[in-house]
Chains A and B, each alone.
Chain A
């Protein structure tokens, strides 16, 4: 498999994830877009790590990206739950004040 194909798949997934973040109004769907972007980055790491299959730097980096993504999803959902308790909505256009 040519390594360019991994990069093109990753670029397409990145753009779809970015479009999800830009267009969606619900905060949870925006988090899904963030996960898509992190997956796109991971595909790049794995593809590059094929070239050096002895030291495996890319695979280690992808593992740590997955760990950070799990932590980010947990904290992000906790914040969204708190916002829902306060504003009674998760529509990002209606959440427009920082005062709590």
Chain B
């Protein structure tokens, strides 16, 4: 059952990403990006990362895609026409990307991940957890102990990005007449 769900989410993710690639209409691309992000969130749940899946839905679907659609609305003259994007370099992109994906998939099959899995099993069995914690417990304790410095830096980064975005995009009265 889990396998079926995994391959279903894989198929949805890849197909809707292909819609982003082949669709000429920007809004269709944005909405199929939502489907890709939801499918990737499902894959996170299958991999046991529930909190990251929720964060993915909240930040990507609730934030970034909405931001992208705002960008589409603000950078097109709305006149009843569909918002079309053109393509270029189609042939070279197809050649480069099929060969790159073939190379990556070949390399992934060449690697020996079972050794890695065995090592992780040994590490996990030597570790003695004091209590039984869920995923979100562990992430919360980690963010407030081991990862406190990256957490605070992420807060400062978000503040800087917010102020920077508002400053760049905001309307400014210029005194020199431009």
Contacts and interface: CB of A to CB of B under 8 A. Distances in A.
Contact of B40 (A2, A42, A64): A42
Contacts of A56: 135, 138-139, 142
Contact of A22 (B17, B18, B96): B96
Contacts of A1: 2-3, 6, 46-47
User: How many A residues touch the partner, as a band?
Assistant: 35 or more
B161 A75 contact: yes
A16 B14 contact: yes
Given A11-B104, A64-B154, A70-B59, A22 B64 contact: no
Chain B contact surface mostly: helix
Nearest to A1: B6
Interface residues of B, number: 83
Contacts of A43: 40, 43-44
A72 B49 CA distance: 23
A74 B165 contact: yes
Nearest to B170: A78
Top 6 A-B residue pairs of the complex, sorted by shortest distance between their CB atoms: A71-B161, A26-B85, A51-B120, A78-B169, A11-B104, A78-B165
Interface of A: 1-9, 11-20, 22-26, 28-29, 31-33, 35-36, 39, 42-43, 46-47, 49-54, 56, 59-60, 62-64, 66-75, 77-82, 84, 90-91, 93
